[in-house]
Amino acid sequence: MSTQDLKRAAAARAVALVTDGMRLGLGTGSTAAFFVELLGARVRQGLAVIGVPTSEATRAAAQAAGIPLTTLDETPELDLTVDGADEIDAGLRLVKGGGGALLREKIVAAASRRMVVIADGDKRVAVLGRFPLPIEVVPFGLGATRRAVEAALPRAGCAGALTLRQAADGSALVTDGGHLILDAHLGRIPDPDALAHALAAIPGVVEHGLFLGLATGAILASREPASFGEA
């Protein structure tokens, strides 16, 4: 099986968790896209759900798949969010935001009673930090915010360079919320809670890609199928 087949298989297992009437958070990324596609097929067969997309890309995919959509204003509490991840550790702590959708992803996950991660097995790590940590910042005061982030890293036991994420055309990538992303190349994050608190205290930081205490389960798309948490 190819990695794509394995991701699709993980997404299919997550679709099996969906029951009639559920209010769903719809994640972003290639694995979540399989979930949206497969969920759409179930909806066309009569499954009644409603979804909140975590990005404009997912909104377009969900609309194309025929999934009825809502907003967190109309539906502030969700039953289940299914989303991908860039890294996951044994405590269901995540690094997310490789697709630039971390802000809406975190808002939707926090509004959900359950969050099940679907990811390929390579995303499982012993220590978070191999994947660059996305930090979403407002464009105003970028230089000052960058300096504040650089100063905060050592206080959380981290070291490494920050890069401004670029779009395919070489310009700065702008998120769905109109913000920029600094990617922190840390290698390892020894104390994710300390880093999360330090970043959250910086005024220009909108959100960061550490998802701590949000995931309730995971389905890993490995050659040896694995799941942990409640999934």
Q: Which residues would be at the binding site for ligand 5RP (CB under 6 A)? A: 27-32, 83-86, 96-102, 105
Q: Residues near 90 by Cβ (< 8 Å), separated by ≥ 6?
A: 124, 126, 228
In 3D space, the residue among 72, 132, 150, 138 whose CA is nearest the CA of residue 106 turns out to be: 72
The answer to whether the beta carbons of residues 122 and 194 sit under 8 Å apart is no
227 HSE (CA, 13 A, CB side): 17
Q: Which residues are annotated as a binding site for substrate?
A: 28-31, 83-86, 96-99, 123
Q: Nearest approach, Cβ of 70 to ligand 5RP (angstroms)?
A: 21
Pick between residue 18 and residue 210 the one whose CB is nearest to ligand 5RP: 210
- The dihedral over CA atoms of 90, 87, 55, 176, expressed in degrees to the nearest 10, equals 130
Q: Nearest approach, Cβ of 209 to ligand 5RP (angstroms)?
A: 7
Which one of the listed residues 105, 207, 224, 230 is annotated catalytic? 105
Is 105 a catalytic site residue?
yes
Q: Nearest approach, Cβ of 37 to ligand 5RP (angstroms)?
A: 13
Pick between residue 58 and residue 148 the one whose CB is nearest to ligand 5RP: 58
Enumerate the active-site residues: 105
